Amino acid sequence: MSCDNLQGNGDMTKKLVIQFAQELNPELAIWINKNTTFPNSMVDRITPRTTQETKDFLKNRWGVTDLFPVKSEEFIQWVVEDNFCNGRPDWEGLYDSTDFMFVEDVHPFENMKLRLLNAGHAALAYFSHLIGHTQVELAMVDPLVRAYVRNYMDQATLAVPEVPMDLDKYKDQLIERFTNPLGDQVERLC
């Protein structure tokens, strides 16, 4: 299962795996196509770029040398297409039900994320950069930026397909998530 931040990630993975298998052994490609599934998924989690500060923290605190550690917010939402060939994973006991959802079609959730989180980040970034902010969480303290981002999201909601979620609550969460002290840079979002 692909967790790449790419629309149709399962479809793309299936296509590439079958193409590769076809080069190795055409019978293998046929078997994979008949016997496996590649669920699409959407992962919603803010992960700023790797910084030297994060690398140093891991090295000094835990003795771990990692050239590209991933720092992230605590929030996570994982929406997974319920398309498994041998039963789906039993995550109900492992994760909070708000952390993941099995759905018939991931695409509406991908569009929700693109139009509210990703485009909200872009709106925040360009406006914040123009008025001199460099850090996302500090830009969101600016009442002008915060109001602009929320107004943008409210307008963008008109283009969000129907999803079984409270979009006002999701937008409220996004505003709070954008204030997380992650050291995320406006420049990265631009």
Amino acid sitting at position 68: F
Domains of the chain: 1-38 (no CATH), 39-189 (1.10.1040)
pLDDT of residue 91: 78
| pLDDT in 10s for each residue of the chain, 190 residues | 888 888 999 999 999 999 999 999 999 999 999 999 999 999 999 988 888 999 999 999 999 999 999 889 988 888 999 999 988 888 777 776 668 889 999 999 999 999 999 999 999 999 999 999 999 999 999 999 999 999 999 999 999 999 998 999 999 999 999 999 998 999 999 9
Phi, psi angle pair for 137, to nearest 5°: -65, -30
Q: What angle do CA 182, 125, 4 make, to 5 degrees?
A: 65
**Cα–Cα–Cα angle for 95, 96, 99, rounded to 5 degrees:** 90
* Tokens 């631009």 belong to residue: 190
**189 and 124 Cβ atoms separated by less than 8 Å:** yes
Whole-number Å distance between alpha carbons of 143 and 82: 41
For residue range 67-97, list pLDDT tens digits in order.
999 889 988 888 999 999 988 888 777 776 6
How many CB atoms are located within 10 Å of the residue 159 CB?
12
Residue 97: its pLDDT value, please? 66
